[in-house]
Amino acid sequence: MIWSTLPDGSHDYYNAQWYAFTGVPEGSTDGEGWNDMFHPDDQDRAWGVWRHSLETGEPYEIEYRLRHRSGEYRWTLGRALPVRGEDGAIIRWVGTCTDIHEHKQTADQNEILSRELSHRIKNIFAVINGLVGLSARQFPDAKAFARQLQARVASLGRAHDYVRPHSEESAPHDGPRTLSELLNRLLSPYPALDEGRLTIDGDDVQVDDRGATPIGLVFHELATNASKYGALSVPDGRVRIATVARNGQVTITWEEAGGPRLTEHPAAAGFGTRLTDLSITEQLGGKIEREWRPEGLWVKVEVAEKRLSRD
């Protein structure tokens, strides 16, 4: 459907497809009569967006429900661009309306399925944690390992909650899913974050479920070890996490200072270390380096930015 307006936004032309779709008499939607064709819940929003375009000259784009000749409201994509004269002044607006109802319904169905899947995944995290706890009661010698495993599963659960909320009500954020916000949420249980001894700074990038799970596992492991043996195990210890995004690559460094002095390199890599290595190299196709410096552990993670998010 094609339409046009005068510079002040008053509609003066609709093509035949508009009238075929809406079923209204020719000329009945001229001027401002077009707004009555929208669903009552969309009218104020559509008018507000249109008025903003008229005032600023910015392109108009919005999704709204438009009344079909059958009487039902169908989702429609509305767009318009200004036509300018030689002096740059707007002399007309030309716009289109595109029926996207089936596409919108499919997207809504996919969203419902995604939320249901996310809810089930969250339940799986809870079931796994419960099973680990029950099993540990039967094997007292494994309690320490069981607690570590439960902490890792809980960390993954927090990462999942952040990037794939199971409902709008439980969504932990309103803005974009970012690496900085993910790290802050994952490390929020550690008092050092509130105390300013654990800092997160640098560039920020988008992250979704592809990147959140391995990144969450790695930095939970680092924070856990730092609390037990490293900089976060003493009152004056500090940890700095810094992110640099350059030329499609993301580098995240973990740097400890002020903790117990390191006098030797660990003899062998533990389960947690091997697990985090696999998370970065196998899942994200990146690299991870460690240096056991006297002042504390230094870790560098390098991954391609496109591996952290599908966007």
- pLDDT, position 19: 94
C-beta separation of 66 from 74 below 8 A = yes
* pLDDT greater at residue 142 or residue 271: 142
User: HSE of 290 in the Cβ direction (CA atoms, 13 Å)?
Assistant: 13
Which value, to the nearest 10 degrees, does the dihedral of the CA atoms of residues 209, 214, 219, 224 take? 110
69 φ/ψ sector (left φ>0, alpha ψ -120 to 50, else beta): alpha
Residue corresponding to tokens 């500090």 = 238
Query: Measured at the alpha carbon of residue 204, what is the angle toward residues 200 and 208, in degrees to the nearest 5?
Result: 105
Residues near 28 by beta carbon (within 8 Å), at least 6 away in sequence: none
239-243 mean pLDDT: 97
Query: Any bridge partners for residue 60, and if so which?
Result: 80
Share of the chain above pLDDT 70, in %: 90
Phi-psi region of 23 (alpha: psi -120 to 50; beta: other; left: phi over 0): left
CB atoms under 10 Å from CB of 42, counted, come to: 18
- Which range among 3-12, 205-214, 279-288 has the greatest average pLDDT? 3-12
- pLDDT value of residue 94: 96
Who wins on pLDDT, 20 or 29?
Answer: 20
β-pairing, 198-202 with 11-14? unpaired
- DSSP assignment of 104-149 equals HHHHHHHHHHHHHHHHHHHHHHHHHHHHHHHHHHH-GGGHHHHHHH
What's the mean pLDDT in 154-168?
62
pLDDT value at residue 212:
81
For residue 62, with 0-12 CB atoms within 10 Å meaning exposed, 13-18 middle and 19 or more buried, which class applies?
middle
Structural contact between residues 20 and 106, judged by C-beta atoms closer than 8 angstroms: no
- Alpha-carbon distance of 155 to 129, in angstroms, equals 11
Q: Which residues of 156-171 are buried (b: 16+ CB within 10 A; e: fewer)?
A: bbbbbbbbbbbeeeee
Number of CB atoms found within 10 A of residue 216's CB: 26
Q: Considering only CA atoms, which of 218, 259, 263, 260 is closest in space to residue 241?
A: 218
At 166, the pLDDT band (50, 70, 90 cuts) reads: very low
- Residue 248: band (very low, low, confident or very high) from pLDDT cuts 50, 70, 90: very high
In sequence order, what are the residues at sequence separation of 6 or more whose Cβ sits closer than 8 angstroms to the Cβ of residue 301?
215, 218, 251, 252, 253, 254, 280, 286, 287, 288
Q: What is the pLDDT of residues 92-131, one digit of tens each?
A: 999 999 999 998 888 777 777 767 777 777 788 888 888 8
